[in-house]
Structure 1
Amino acid sequence: MRRFIFSSLLLLAASFSHAEEIGAVDTVFKFIGPDHKIVVEAYDDPGVSGVTCYISRAKTGGIKGAFGVAEDKSEASIACQQVGPIAIAKPLKAQEEIFSERTSLVFKRLRIVRMVDVKRHSLVYLTYSDRVIEGSPQNSVAVVSVDHATPIPMK
């Protein structure tokens, strides 16, 4: 049992390794444990250098939040931006999940999917939350236009 708990905690810690927290604002004061807040995190696209996506999402505080067992809300917002020269090292899939992060101990995940709009020479980023049994229709989308001089290699 201890090995399972330790493995689960390592997996949970690893799932947060791609996010860089930019900042947070408190939304609800909690007497015990951290406050409820909205956090803003940056995710660099692993397949496209020069593109960063910023996600804002609710983070539950209180006692459950302090111990990492709270279930965060499904709402999230995404804004993606070209932050440097765009370079695509390997061919991209037409649609690919590029990030997945747990937002509850077991059942819920926040996901970012990159889609390639070949006709408009753009990268479309979708964020949404899902659950093991039932997902959420809450979602947000952002688009990064790629200079026509930069080829978008496809798989």
Structure 2
Amino acid sequence: MKACWILALVPTGLLAQSIDEEALARAIFQDLNPVSIRANVEYCGYVGFTAEGELAYSQPTRGDEGSCLSDDPDNLELITASYHTHGAHSPDYSSELPSGTDMEGDEDEGIDGWVATPGGRLWYIDTTDMITRQICGIGCLPSDPNFVSGESGIIEQSYSYDELVIKLDE
């Protein structure tokens, strides 16, 4: 796994999702998703700004098979988003979508979120509007070789919180 990646960026107002933050999320998950899949556990952390105004991320915290609670970051002055993986593919979990709990946790912290799935999808959670949208689909991030496409049914490009909860109850 690479050390913390830093992009020079001075915040001039908090945008819901910057292109630089998306690039950073993709870079985090390029390294972290394979580790998460091999260990079959979630990893999580935070994205934000250092005291110098640089976009960065915290070191990942190892969770368990179905959850992860991030350590407080030492390197971030301002947290803008969480990030976490969903571990290995399992027919017992709806791991190709963020969960309602994922959205609620980010909302409670007042931040947005990034989620990587075993199928290699990247999701963005916007807690202002309580929607999640698929940034890129199957295989855009490293994926689990045991992933079965279609096993979770039709996956839409975005879901409101209410739509997501209904989808996950199906």
Answer yes or no: same fold by TM over 0.5: no
Q: Which structure has the highest strand share of the two?
A: 1
Q: Which structure has the highest helix share of the two?
A: 2
TM-score by length of 2: 0.29
- Structure of larger gyration radius: 1
